Amino acid sequence: MTITEYPQDRIAAQPIGYWTREAANLAIGAIRTALAEEDLTQPHWWTLNHIAATPGAWTRTTLTAKLSPYDDQNTDFDAMYTDLATRGWLTEPDGTLTLTPEGEAGRLRAHARNAKVHTRMRDGIDDEAYASTINVLRRLVANLGGEADLP
């Protein structure tokens, strides 16, 4: 996709709030649409990834505490864990959350769908420009008193 070129001074005068909100809304919407194709929400996705990354490390309580600050959907985390267990994607042998082979397969399918969104989103943007953009946003966050460390 081509976009109209503008002089730097005109771009520099643009409202950052508008562009960051527009980018965030479109990126989150595209990711949520891709996940919905697997009948998953973002909290499902976060859960699957956290459990896969550190098997045996999470209980319902600890993972809910970790993920709740990022949730903007008023997720009932216990119902979500139960949903994943009912699908056969998650077990809790000894109280820790564990992915089943079916859960890992579902996570990998969702990952492939999300990867397509990320590829589309980054079309025409090399790693240097992307990293520079993230660092500018991190600086804006820090300047406004927020947490600029990577999540």
Record the tokens describing residue 149, joined without a space: 């460390």
Helix (H, G, I), strand (E, B) or coil at 141: helix
- According to the model, what pLDDT value does residue 86 have? 97
The b/e string for 18-27 (b: 16+ C-beta within 10 A; e otherwise) is: eeeeeeeeee
Record the tokens describing residue 75, joined without a space: 């997720």
Could you report the per-residue pLDDT of 34-60, keeping only the tens digit for each? 999 999 999 999 999 999 999 999 999
- According to the model, what pLDDT value does residue 75 have? 97
pLDDT beyond 80 at 74: yes
What mean pLDDT do residues 104-128 have? 97
Helix (H, G, I), strand (E, B) or coil at 64: helix
